[in-house]
Amino acid sequence: MNMKKNQLIFAGLFLLAAAVPAFAQEQAVEEKKMDKVEADLNKDAAEPEGQKAVVEKIKADFKVDDARIAGLVEKNLSYGGMAAALSLAQGLPGGITEENVQKVVALRQGPPVMGWGKVAKELGLKLGPAVSKARKAADGARKKIKEEKVKKEKAMKKEKAMKGGKAEKGGKAEKPSRPAKADRPGSGGKR
């Protein structure tokens, strides 16, 4: 009887030991996704049309105003960091409030500095839904930037057409005709 009890205990410990790395690995994957979303938004904001589009998308998706954005800029958060912090704050009871945003930012910036996965865990949230919300904002901003680029290119093409643009290309110049085959002296034809 005692032997079976020990076997069950060891089996339980073995299963627990096997499950912990799998759980940690899942968190690492989600954190990498959030880091990628953050990097994508920062890259988009660096483009000429990007910053305005990213800010507008963050304001629309998370229903925040310019004052909240300015406050997060003062806290040295990048645009990707803003989207991540706001998406986590949105998951807290009460949604995006000053207190919730401050809590998320304080955990992120430390001390000790935490990754998004640890911040979510500390707040009792899952990172997956926050990643989805931030990804939605990033995708929307990228789409808006593309639309602005296309609009700008069309306007430039139209402007060129109005000014005359490039000179019209003429057809290809004709090659000069080749002279007929010259007769060689001393060759009287086929032999």
| 86, 58 Cβ separation under 8 angstroms | yes
Asked whether residue 119 is assigned to any structural domain, the reply reads yes
Asked whether residue 157 is assigned to any structural domain, the reply reads no
Indicate whether 191 pLDDT > 80.
no
Asked whether residue 33 is assigned to any structural domain, the reply reads yes
Residue-range definition of the domain harbouring residue 109: 17-148
At 27 the pLDDT is 60
What is the number of structural domains in the chain? Answer: 1
Quick one: DSSP state of residue 127? H
Residue 78: Cβ-neighbour burial (10 angstroms; 0-12, 13-18, 19+): middle
Q: Chain-wide mean pLDDT for the chain?
A: 82
At 159 the pLDDT is 85
- For residues 53-65, one letter each, b for 16 or more C-beta atoms within 10 angstroms of the residue's C-beta and e for the rest, the string is bbbebbbebbebe
24-78 pLDDT, tens digit per residue, is 445 678 889 989 988 998 998 888 778 888 999 999 999 999 999 999 999 999 9
At 12 the pLDDT is 56
